Chain A
């Protein structure tokens, strides 16, 4: 085993290790090198965001079209104000669409689904959804049911 050959093999080992780290970063943890493409921001006000969290997904017809940027409380209306960052390709969301909080599966993460409206006018950067539907709270449903309402 010559020194040269050994150096090459060790070099390959290093490259393999670093490549594996890259796979872990990009494929496994979904870390994207830059914000993928252009995006624009829409807002939605909810009475109850439930377990919604930043970095969650925004989808339309089950296809992910953006992420949740931030969730803040509006001090005047005591509603949650959610900023959604949407792919710039999807620039024709009808203005009367509704933002609905849904749960993936029975116990999965919560995400925002946009149910499409019929207005020919699209939502533009910085607009707020007109209609929203808050998270379904299973406990509240059960307690309402138990109280006979």
Chain B
């Protein structure tokens, strides 16, 4: 297949034989003080001759040495102030080679602060260095995850307010300003409740399950890039990490459901296992679509590959990413047990599903996880499809020059995240629930095939379609779906909201005989 495609491409004259080129030998990001290795596709260099490596975009020239005919090693200056993606030139005497702009080298600034801290501890304190590293990372993660209950609480209140508005009633409006502290009251109440473990439950698993769910979600905050700097660790395996740790939540749900020794909880746990395992496939394939076109699993890289304007987002990049977004979104709803896929805790069928037997603090962890999960869902959607923290006119270099602009990126990210969260809430209070067989057939008969089509299509697209055509397709998609369809949708919503207001008979019946 590939040879046929290549032959077509060659006949069309689109591809010429590749010239000898240099590239980043390790497809990882570089940090200050690290060694970089530049690799040539042919023996170009003279070993031992004076050599320099220039990071073109950053204007940094580093002393280097050619260790082999095709290898140059340079030490990245610890004082390098700039960061970002760049091409690299290697100079040896009068000879000069430049790397391909399509495979940029990446220089990063954020994590070193952590690294310095950890290295400082390791130098002064006993114990292995990796331990201090782990501690530093954990501390940073805790710092990011500390607001987790607050996020969950505020989303709960918000959800209740939205649902109240939709169901023509008031949401919480008593505790705190306009009810916004309701989550605190509810949380405290749950903390003071008795922690009941049913007599016939598997006590150890029963007690452990909620923590597992919490840990699974807590860990995702490590790779979520809230802004250029606000990220705990930009792991090279970011997306993979995200997928794997969120799976812990399923384990916890099954564990909780099974160990409760209650039939309702068991049914909820079983449903959850079937549902989440099924929907993880289309969701992962949709994520892979983005990973393929970006060429990286790192969350920051994926954000960096997009632009600030909507037509530069992955959502509107080409038809396949557009499809992938919706597949991912619906699958993520299913993974997060949200309506119309809230079968594991279908309150009208299974009492409360997998958490039927829980009470007190252990119970409170499940809703906490559920609501933080919505925020995580929104964050993942933002970074993958909606341009992450990218702001128009403010590039990475601008933020490095004016660090306060990072707050703008953070605000952008949070705004996009909340927009997705709102849509999720909106869907929950609009739609009924699927039945378990309908949900399964939706996943296996429609979503997985469509996800594969979008994945393969995206691969072919990135391979064959030139960048200019992609830009035109993206613009067209944005105009048709973003402005056209989106505008039509918004006007419909406004129309319905107005119609709904007309239907409220506010005190029109007058005071009763009370």
A and B form one complex? no
